[in-house]
Amino acid sequence: MEQLKNDRGDGTIEKLLTAAISVFGQHGFHGATTRMLTKAAGVNQQAIPYYFGGKEGLYIATAELIGAGMADRIGAAAKKVTRVLARADEVGEPVSAGEARRVLTEFLQTFSDVVVSDEAEAWAGFIFREQMAPTEAFERIHRAAMGPMLGMVNRLVGVLLSKDPASERVRLRTLSLISGIIVFRMSRATALRFLNWEAIGPRENHALRAHVADLVKSISHAT
Amino acid sequence: MEQLKNDRGDGTIEKLLTAAISVFGQHGFHGATTRMLTKAAGVNQQAIPYYFGGKEGLYIATAELIGAGMADRIGAAAKKVTRVLARADEVGEPVSAGEARRVLTEFLQTFSDVVVSDEAEAWAGFIFREQMAPTEAFERIHRAAMGPMLGMVNRLVGVLLSKDPASERVRLRTLSLISGIIVFRMSRATALRFLNWEAIGPRENHALRAHVADLVKSISHAT
DNA sequence: GTCTATAGTCGGATAGAC
DNA sequence: GTCTATCCGACTATAGAC
């Protein structure tokens, strides 16, 4: 399967992949039918077996696209953090609590932006379905985006707690911290209702960023 | 549909419901077939349309059972909290921060126990699928268990932050707090791997209870 | 490379014997 | 109330014209 044929197909593959993210996300693998997928993409039903070898092939390809998309969207922010951590390693001196808090807050605010973005809405269903019953698709998303992010955040949480990042306590905090942000996407319906929000617009986005700062602050204050 | 017929059926309905929780949880509504469901329950395929009017009817009935199960399992702990809150209302004096923290910790530890329990494993897939694409089934679970719990926890978080429980800030914290616990069920695979845990046994359960106490503590310390 | 037509499979629900 | 047999529709994938 050396490479996806691109000649002549005026974006059939791309249209299919784009549509697949939201259709699979909304209905899951079984709930989505090839007819839904191709209709949403505006292409012939036969395009799926032809280009992807079948529905499952399209599913895997979609997962890869999502992984790449996530990595891309948080990439710039992640690079900043990596740079700070790398510099600390070079100097052989740990990152200061103040800097860790600043960097972590900034990164997680970006993450929060991405999480509640319209783009992520299409990703979310896909990812969280996979999280419950991981298939190969999840592996790919994890490797591309989630794994590196977890490790990075964990190091900063370790600094804030003045504890070994490898310790259980730090890792537990990291997991809870990230899930405390993701909840606004994953349980969006529940969250909106509970907050009396109708949607997540600029004002709500701003409130979320403040909330993220709150969460980070609460880590450094606890012992 | 006055009442489910129970005469003579030696537990067919019960067997079907019990099996349905895990089968729907694992495969989702579309992924689960009536043949899977009835085979897992050890009953005739025809039993689903007969007793529940169809696959969807079984799905709704399953949701109700889960809602009742959750309410039951956290019921005792919830009652304690309700009592404390009610007493405060009577006296007209707010709950003290110390008591709020104690009560909240105890409640959330129970919640954490339930969340990671084997029983909840069967519920989890069902609930989180619903959370992403809520149907009527979600409404029922929400009303039975999640809604009341959110309100209760929120009041205590309000006390700890010395803020109006209705305020956005408090509600945001409540959502993040609860999701910080649920993550160990919802993203269990990711969490276990990140923590180098093989399973959640007694030791891990204990660690989680300590972690929950940590999370509550971090609320009272933050401003 | 893209289409129409259709084959082949499996899904949920029904009919009717017992 | 429970079974076997079966229908009908929807699904994915293939065949073959263009």
Q: Which of A27, A172, A190 sits opposite B131 (nearest CB)?
A: A190
Quickly give A60 CA vs D14 C1' distance in Å. 22
pLDDT at residue A122 in the model: 86
Tokens of A119: 């783009």
The pLDDT of residue B129 is: 85
Summarised one tens digit per residue, pLDDT across range B72-111 is 999 999 999 999 999 999 999 999 999 999 999 999 999 9
Distance (Å) from the alpha carbon of A122 to chain B's nearest alpha carbon? 11
Evaluate if residue B120 carries a pLDDT over 80.
Answer: yes
Q: Which residue of chain A is at minimal alpha-carbon distance from B179?
A: A180
Distance CA B8, CA B105 (A): 46
The pLDDT tens digits for A53-80 are: 999 999 999 999 999 999 999 999 999 9
Q: For B118 and D3, how far is CA from C1' in angstroms?
A: 35
Identify whether the C-beta of residue B71 lies closer than 8 Å to the C-beta of residue B81.
no
Q: Phi, psi (5° rounding) for residue B200?
A: -105, 90
- Cβ of B33 under 8 Å from any chain A Cβ? no
Q: Tokens for B212, please give them.
A: 């929950």
Kindly determine whether residue B142 and residue A27, on different chains, have CB atoms separated by under 8 Å.
Answer: no
Residues of A in Cβ contact (< 8 Å) with B137: none
The overall average pLDDT reported for chain A is: 92
What's the rounded Cα separation, in Å, for the pair A110 and A76?
10
Residues of A in Cβ contact (< 8 Å) with B217: 222
Q: How many CB pairs under 8 A join A and B?
A: 139
DSSP-based helix, strand, coil % in chain A, nearest 5: 80, 0, 20
Specify the DSSP class assigned to residue A96.
Answer: P
How far is CA B167 from each of CA A208, A215, B97, B128, B189, rounded to the nearest angstrom? Answer: 14, 16, 18, 27, 34
Asked if residue B124 has pLDDT above 70, the reply is yes
**Gap between the Cα atoms of A48 and A38, Å rounded:** 8
Position B6 scores a pLDDT of: 41
A30–B26 CB contact, under 8 Å: no
Q: Which of B31, B182, B194 sits opposite A28 (nearest CB)?
A: B31
Q: Which residue's entry shows tokens 């977890």? A: A150
Residues of chain B neighbouring A28 (CB-CB closer than 8 A): 28, 30-31, 129
Tell me the C-alpha distance between B200 and B106, whole Å: 19
Kindly state the average pLDDT of the residues A32-40: 96
The SS3 of residue B6 is coil
| Residue contact B179–A195, C-beta within 8 A | no
pTM, full prediction = 0.91
Note the pLDDT of residue B125: 87
pLDDT grade, residue A199 (50/70/90)?
very high
CA-based end-to-end distance of chain B: 53
Q: What is the 3-state secondary structure of A140-180?
A: HHHHHHHHHHHHHHHHHHHHHHCCCCCCHHHHHHHHHHHHH
Query: Which residues of A are less than 8 Å from B212 in CB distance?
Result: none
SS3 A85: helix
Query: What is the DSSP code string of B56-103?
Result: HHHHHHHHHHHHHHHHHHHHHHHHHHHHHHHHHHHHT-PPPHHHHHHH
What does the pLDDT average to over B34-59? Answer: 96
* A217 and chain B in contact, CB less than 8 A: yes
Q: Please determine, for residue B4, whether its predicted confidence score (pLDDT) is greater than 60.
A: no
- pLDDT tens string A72-124: 999 999 999 999 999 999 999 999 999 999 999 999 999 999 999 989 988 98
The predicted pLDDT at position B221 comes to 59
Average pLDDT over residues A149-176: 97
- Window 141-160 of A: residues touching B by CB (8 A cutoff) are 142, 146, 150
Which of B176, B195, B222 lies at the smallest CB-CB distance from A171? B195
CA of B58 to C1' of C3 (A): 42
B59 touches chain A (CB under 8 A): no
Four-residue CA torsion sign, A194, A197, A201, A204: negative
Q: Is residue A161 over pLDDT 60? A: yes
Q: Which nucleotides of C are covered by protein (CB under 7 A)?
A: 1-5, 10-16
Q: Is A211 on the interface with B (CB under 8 A)?
A: yes
Question: Each residue of A127-150: pLDDT tens digit?
Answer: 888 888 788 889 889 999 899 999
Task: With CB atoms and an 8 Å threshold, state whether A132 touches B191.
Answer: no
Residue B40 to residues A71, B48, B65, B124: CA-CA distances in angstroms? 41, 13, 18, 18
